[in-house]
Amino acid sequence: MINKRFETIDKTDIESLITNEVSESRTLEYKEKLPGNSDDEKKEFLKDVSAFANTSGGDIIYGISEQRDINGKTTGLPGQAKGLSDINADEQKRRLDSILQDGLDPRIPGILIEVIDGFTDGSIIIIRVPKSWNSPHMVVFKKWSRFYARNSAAVYQLDVAEIRSTFIASESIAERSRQFRSDRIAKIIANEMPIAVQSGSKIVLHMVPIASFNLGTAIDVRAVEQGIANLSPIFIRTSSGRYNFDGYLKHASLIESASASYVQLFRNGVIEAVNVRIIQEDGDRKYIPGYAFEKELSKSLDKYLEAQQSLGLLPPIIVLLSLLGVRGCRMQVNSHYDDAEQVIDRDLLLLPEVVVEEYSEKAADILRPTFDAVWQACGWERSHNYDDNGQWIEKR
């Protein structure tokens, strides 16, 4: 895989692969031509893509030939980057995407296709396949049902034991994200946070890229300052930022040596945001301001996703929302809080996780099931900030 944010890869990066003789690997493959429309070529394409997704992810580059040895066998080393002649790049992107949609089960979210112009014979097309959180993916093409993976040499078919292991590994990803949340919530309850935080009920948002579970995953936290506005704490308009041991921290102004909100970017790309201001108190009553609560969380999630994308982190992203100290809370509806007896019956709400499969998704759509669960904890059927079709209702 080219070690660069996908959208920033250009002609120079392709040429450097040739100059430095970067060999094919577990995460990189060269193809001189695009797959055609024959069944065999489509099947081979699906095998290549699913194998990357079922293993470590990777880039497939179309338009680069391979060097051959004296016997005419390919060596895995790049030959020439001439590009693809006589193609309509946009049309080919749609065709390849259609093959992927129809030929894999389950589908692979987060696949990116980019066209790079300026080569001798035409454009080069790169497909970036993320390591999947929902593997193994099976090639299902005209009665052909097989699972594939990739090693440093080639694509190979998974045997029964390997298929079972892959299913177990995928299940463990969800469990690891829940364990991460549990560990962080325990630290927050014990006041072991990157900065002193005011007492009171808390909203905690975690955004965990699947890639963060890969050994050695690390981001350059120095790059954060380029998109620093996207790391603003929840419900806070002005904040201070600094590097710390875990990565990069932004927080609201200190009041009596404590902050009301912070957002921590960890070195593995995980984001943790904590806020104590959204949940309100009115005498002996506590309530969640339904519209402001959902509006602010959606705005923050959109910004944090932009930040993770700018750092080159591939989806999927697991989003986990937790509410601390909320026993007895009611839901505020239409500028007043509900007088019904139904209140949240526990101090800690660990809301069901949701998964962001594409950066193009909108936060309000991503969080709707989570918001429904909060309203249900307060005795309501669902969030009143969405219409009957599940569309967000923007209020003035």
Task: Return per-residue pLDDT of the chain as tens, 396 residues.
Answer: 787 778 889 999 999 999 999 898 888 999 999 999 999 999 999 999 999 998 888 999 999 998 888 888 888 888 889 999 888 988 999 999 999 988 998 888 888 899 999 899 999 999 999 888 778 898 988 877 888 888 876 888 887 787 777 766 666 777 888 889 999 999 999 999 999 998 889 999 999 988 777 655 677 777 766 666 678 898 877 778 889 999 999 998 888 788 889 999 998 889 999 999 788 877 778 889 888 899 999 999 999 998 888 888 878 889 999 999 999 898 888 655 555 558 899 999 999 999 888 888 899 999 999 999 999 999 899 999 999 888 999 886
User: CA geometry: angle at 226 spanning 132 and 1, to 5°?
Assistant: 30
Both tokens of residue 127?
């497909």
Both tokens of residue 385?
């900030």
List of domains in the chain? 6-158 (3.30.950.30), 167-377 (no CATH)
pLDDT of res. 160:
78
Cis-peptide into 106, omega within 30 deg: yes
Both tokens of residue 200?
């009171």
pLDDT of res. 340:
56
Both tokens of residue 227?
């998109």
pLDDT of res. 181:
92
Q: How crowded is the C-beta side of 298, counted as CA atoms within 13 Å?
A: 22
- Asked whether 278 and 285 are in contact (CB, 8 A), the reply is no
Strand 329-333 with 285-289, pairing: parallel
Q: What is the DSSP letter of 392?
A: B
